Amino acid sequence: MEREIEQLTRLPAVEGAFLCDNRGDVIVSSDPAVLATVTMNTIGREIGRAFVALQAAGFPASRIDLTYDSWRLLAQDLGDAVLFVVAQPAVDMAMVRLTADVVVAAWQKDPAARKRLEKHRSERAQLVNRTALDPGSWLTWNVIAQRGS
Partner 1 sequence: MPEGLTGSLAQLPLIDLLKMLAAAGQTGRLELSSGLDLGDLYIHRGQLVHAEAAGEWGEPAFARLVTWPNGQFRFIPGEEPPERSIAKPLDQLLAEAARVASEREAIRRVVPSMDIVPRLARKAPRPQLTIDAADWELIALLDGSRTAASLAAELGLDDFEAMRRIYRLKLAGLVEFEKPQQLAPAARALAGPAFFQALHTAVAAAVGPLAEIIIDDCLDAMGHTRQDFPRDGIARLAEAISNEITDPEKRVKFQQTMLALIRGQQAA
For 24: left if phi > 0, alpha if psi spans -120 to 50, otherwise beta; the answer is: left
Choice from 2, 32, 69, 149 touching partner 1 (CB under 8 A): 69
Nearest to 97 by CA among 114, 84, 113: 84
Q: Is 64 in the site for partner 1 (CB under 8 A)?
A: no
Choice from 71, 120, 122, 127 touching partner 1 (CB under 8 A): 71
Q: Is 95 in the site for partner 1 (CB under 8 A)?
A: yes
Residue closer to partner 1 by CB (options 2, 69) is 69
DSSP string, 86-130: EE-TT--HHHHHHHHHHHHHHHHH-HHHHHHHHHT---GGGGSST
Residues β-bridged to residue 86: 16, 73
Number of helices and strands in the chain (H, E): 5, 5
Is residue 82 within 8 Å of residue 98, measured between CB atoms? Answer: no
Choice from 6, 31, 58, 98 touching partner 1 (CB under 8 A): 98
What track of x and - describes contact with partner 1 for positions 31 through 50 (by CB under 8 A)?
A: ----xx--x---x-------
Choice from 2, 32, 68, 112 touching partner 1 (CB under 8 A): 68
Choice from 86, 113, 117, 128 touching partner 1 (CB under 8 A): 86
Interface residues with partner 1 (CB under 8 A) are 12, 35-36, 39, 43, 68-71, 73, 86, 92, 94-95, 97-99, 101-102, 105, 134
